[in-house]
Amino acid sequence: MKILTLAQAQNAIALHNSNSVITAQQMQQLLGNVSVTFAQIEYVTKVQTAAAHKAQNIQKITRANVILSSTLKAHTSVYANKVKKTAAAIQDNDQAAVAAFTPQANYFEHTACHSVVQHTEHADKQYLYAIYNNATSLYMHNGAIVDEQHVAQFLTPSAKRDMLNKDSTVHNKTHNIRHTVAVRTIALANIISIRARKQYTTV
C-alpha cells in the first residue's frame, strides 16, 4: 500500500477530530448482504503512553486492506479457516493441535452484521472486526511525522519491546500453535473512511 504523506496524515487527524463517526448502520448498509468482501479502511488511534508521558499526544494513522463479512453461515468461519491454513504451514506446530483449533470467547460479540461487534458488557462500544491482509501506518507527534524509535521512548518497557521487536507470527496459547492471521477490532469512533463493494464512506 502507498505510504501516507504528511498532508494526508494531517487531513486524517482533522477528520478524526471532527467528532463525526461512521455508524454501525452505515457499515451494515455498505457491506450489504455479502458473505465476504475486501475493504480499505483508514483510522486514527491515540498511542497509549507510559504514565510518566501521559501528557504526550501521539497519534497513529493507519490504512489497511482487510477482509470483512456481513453474514457468515454457522458452519463457516473465515478466521478459523485462515488460522488453520497458515498454522499448518509452520513446521513447528503440532498438526493435531492445528486441526483442533477453534476461536475462543472474547470481550465482544458479533451483531447482525458479522463484522460489526460490540462489547459484551457495554453495548454502546462498537468495533469493526477486521482480518488484515496488509497495512501501512505512520505516527504524528507535535505536528510532525516521527518513527517508531521516537515513539518507543514514551512507552512502557513491554510496549516498547513489542514495537521494536515485531514477530510476524501470532501465538495462540490455548492450542499452543503459531499462525500469521492478524485480526483487529477497531473502535468505530476511530475509523474515518472505508471503501468496499465499489462504495466509499467517510466521516
Cβ pair 185, 108 in contact under 8 A: yes
Range of the domain at 38: 6-67+109-168+186-198
Do the domain assignments include residue 91? Answer: no
CA distance 113 to 122: 17
pLDDT computed for residue 74 by the predictor: 53
Report residue 3 as a C-alpha cell.
505510504
Which is it for strands 126-141 and 144-146: parallel, antiparallel or unpaired? antiparallel
Report residue 15 as a C-alpha cell.
477528520
CA distance 172 to 50: 27
Q: How far, in whole angstroms, is CA 56 from its chain's centroid?
A: 23
Mean pLDDT estimate for the chain: 92
Do the domain assignments include residue 139? Answer: yes
pLDDT computed for residue 1 by the predictor: 65
CA distance 61 to 162: 18
The residues, any chain, with a CB within 8 Å of residue 26's CB and separated by 6 or more, are 201
- Amino acid, res. 43: Y
Instruction: Give the DSSP letter of residue 146.
Output: E
Give the pLDDT confidence of 51-108 residue by residue, as tens digits: 999 999 999 999 999 999 888 765 567 888 999 999 999 999 999 999 999 988 889 9
Do the domain assignments include residue 84? Answer: no
Cβ pair 132, 183 in contact under 8 A: yes
Give the pLDDT confidence of 23-60 residue by residue, as tens digits: 999 999 998 888 889 999 999 999 999 999 999 999 99
Count: domains in the chain = 1
Mean pLDDT check: name the lowest of 25-34, 184-193, 194-203: 25-34
For range 132-160, the mean pLDDT:
95
Do the domain assignments include residue 180? Answer: no
Instruction: Give the DSSP letter of residue 199.
Output: E
Do the domain assignments include residue 119? Answer: yes
Do the domain assignments include residue 104? Answer: no
CA distance 107 to 83: 20
Whether the per-residue pLDDT at 5 is higher than 80: the answer is: yes
Q: Is 163 exposed, middle or buried (0-12, 13-18, 19+ CB in 10 A)?
A: middle
Do the domain assignments include residue 27? Answer: yes
Cβ pair 43, 62 in contact under 8 A: yes
Do the domain assignments include residue 93? Answer: no
H or E segment and range at residue 123: none
